[in-house]
Amino acid sequence: MALCCCSQVREVGMQSAFIEIGENQMMKAAFWNEHQKESENHLRSTDGDNRVKAVRFPSMFREDVPRGSRRWIPLALVLGSIAVVAYADHMVATVPLGYLYILPLGIGAMLLRSNVSYALIAVSIFLHDLFRPPFFSIPMRIAHNLIALVGFVFVVYVVQRYVKQKEGLDEAVRSQRDELLKDVELAGQVQRMFLPIGRPSIPGLDIASKMQPARTLGGDYYDYIPINDHTIQVVIADVSGKGVPAALLMSAAAAGMQLEVSEVRDMAEIVDRLNRGIHSVSDGVQFVTLLLAEVDTQLRKLRYVNCGHNSALLFKEETGEIALLNSSCPPLGFFADTACTIDESDLSPGDAIVLYTDGLTEAENATGEEFGIERLATLLRRTSALPAEQILQNILRAAVDFHQGLGFADDVTILVVKCGFDRAGLLVPDEISASSSVHTPE
């Protein structure tokens, strides 16, 4: 009985020992697996770092050298030139040709980094020492190599210093250009502040306008000047020249126009005061063509003065004819004093007035043919039943189709006034709106 109990105790002890050993082995295995995972993760991170380092291998070229698939061509040219010079130095046994290494080293200094260029100097010295004719003494050989080294380093240093100065100059030019573009854009925003924001609200008149400058700064100007509930003045102007000078004079003319109409209402006096002001700042070198028109819906009258501007078109609904609002005096700024006449014309319901700048009629196609006033008149006849905005869009679309993607060489401004005295507000009948798809003339 005692033996049986002892054997049972031993069996239980052995089982406990086996269990403890198994747990220890399992803990060791888990620890080993965790250690292996950490090692693998470390290896992966190390490989990743190595791969990143491989990707970030420094380039042999200067930063200003354009990137691309053919970037290796300059390097191959430099190395090939060094190899050719070394071969020539080897073949010509009587005359040393070490000075010829200056050409590939100079080209390399313009394209390659400094450390690469100086490494090529060492390669060139080694090749020249290897292939040149033998020296009579070791000191002469050392002195010759030192002289060649100093000469090559001097050439590379001078070339790279010149390249760095050129890069600095290019960076300064780019910075100044960017600042100038910002200033020009700001000036364009200020210039656009002189243009009207919304449409005027005169019962019986439908007015639409659009200006498309050829550059950021334009030389065209237009505005609406309401006089009372039934009278409005519209003005369109074009400054001679392009760019910043024309934009500055246009801004001065626009500011002067807004100042004059706020004080006086007589059109002849407005034009005379504007002419003297523009002449004083331009000295007759630059000038402004201007057309100022006044529409009175109560009297059904059109009064206008044209100062050297393009002849506006007046379509008469009753007869179907087009009258030209021709110039009656020189452009503003030509002379210190000018005498302009005020012309008049009767208006009827359905009449349409089109004011424009020369950028529209002088638009050219691929053959050099101009859009011309005849095409504009024909287009106005075909679209006269449409609202002002649709007339304007048809004119602009016809001009764009005409120049065939060449663009406008000058600023384009169009202002359309449609008369509808028998109806209040916009004269847009349903049948007119349905006929908006009018074909432009050829």
63-85 pLDDT, tens digit per residue, is 666 666 676 777 788 888 888 88
> For residue 334, which of 273, 274, 284, 277 has the smallest C-alpha distance?
284
DSSP 332: B
Higher pLDDT, 347 or 100: 347
264-309 pLDDT, tens digit per residue, is 668 888 888 888 888 888 766 788 999 999 999 999 999 999 999 9
- What was the pLDDT predicted at 303? 94
* Whether the predicted pLDDT of 344 surpasses 80: yes
Reported as a pLDDT band with limits 50, 70 and 90, residue 439 is very low
Average pLDDT value for residue range 18-24: 45
Q: What strands lie across the sheet with 343-346, from one edge to the other?
A: 220-226, 231-239, 288-296, 301-307, 343-346
Higher pLDDT, 416 or 175: 416
Q: What is the DSSP string of 234-295?
A: EEEEEESS-HHHHHHHHHHHHHHHHHHHTT---HHHHHHHHHHHHHHHHTTSS-EEEEEEEE
* Whether the predicted pLDDT of 250 surpasses 60: yes
Q: What is the mean pLDDT of the chain?
A: 78
Average pLDDT value for residue range 93-110: 80
Lowest model confidence (mean pLDDT) among 42-56, 137-151, 322-336: 42-56
> For residue 179, which of 171, 168, 167 has the smallest C-alpha distance?
171
- What was the pLDDT predicted at 282? 78
- What was the pLDDT predicted at 12? 39
- What was the pLDDT predicted at 43? 45
* Span 195-434 CATH architecture: 4-Layer Sandwich (3.60)
The Cα 51–Cα 44 span in angstroms is: 10
Query: Phi first, then psi: what are they for 202, rounded to 5°?
Result: -120, 115
> For residue 144, which of 107, 89, 190 has the smallest C-alpha distance?
89
Helix (H, G, I), strand (E, B) or coil at 406: coil
- State CA 404 to chain mean position distance: 21
Q: What is the DSSP string of 78-124?
A: HHHHHHHHHHHHHH--SS--GGGGHHHHHHHHHHB-HHHHHHHHHHH
* Whether the predicted pLDDT of 389 surpasses 90: yes
Lowest model confidence (mean pLDDT) among 104-113, 355-364, 393-402: 104-113
158-200 pLDDT, tens digit per residue, is 988 888 888 888 888 988 888 887 877 777 777 777 778 878 8
| Helix segments in 92-205, DSSP class H | 102-111, 114-131, 138-192
Average pLDDT value for residue range 336-353: 90
- What was the pLDDT predicted at 18? 37
Nearest 10 degrees: CA dihedral of 186, 358, 307, 216? 0
Place of tokens 């910043």: 244
Would you list the domain boundaries of the chain? 72-188, 195-434
CB 124 within 8 A of CB 107: no
| 144 burial type by CB count under 10 A (0-12 exposed, 13-18 middle, 19+ buried) | middle
Reported as a pLDDT band with limits 50, 70 and 90, residue 5 is very low
DSSP 193: T
The angle subtended at Cα 113 by Cα 112 and Cα 119, nearest 5°, is 90
> pTM for the complete prediction?
0.61
Q: Strand 288-296 and strand 301-307: pairing?
A: antiparallel
Average pLDDT value for residue range 238-265: 78
Higher pLDDT, 9 or 246: 246
202-220 pLDDT, tens digit per residue, is 888 999 999 888 776 777 8
The Cα 394–Cα 210 span in angstroms is: 12
* Whether the predicted pLDDT of 400 surpasses 80: yes
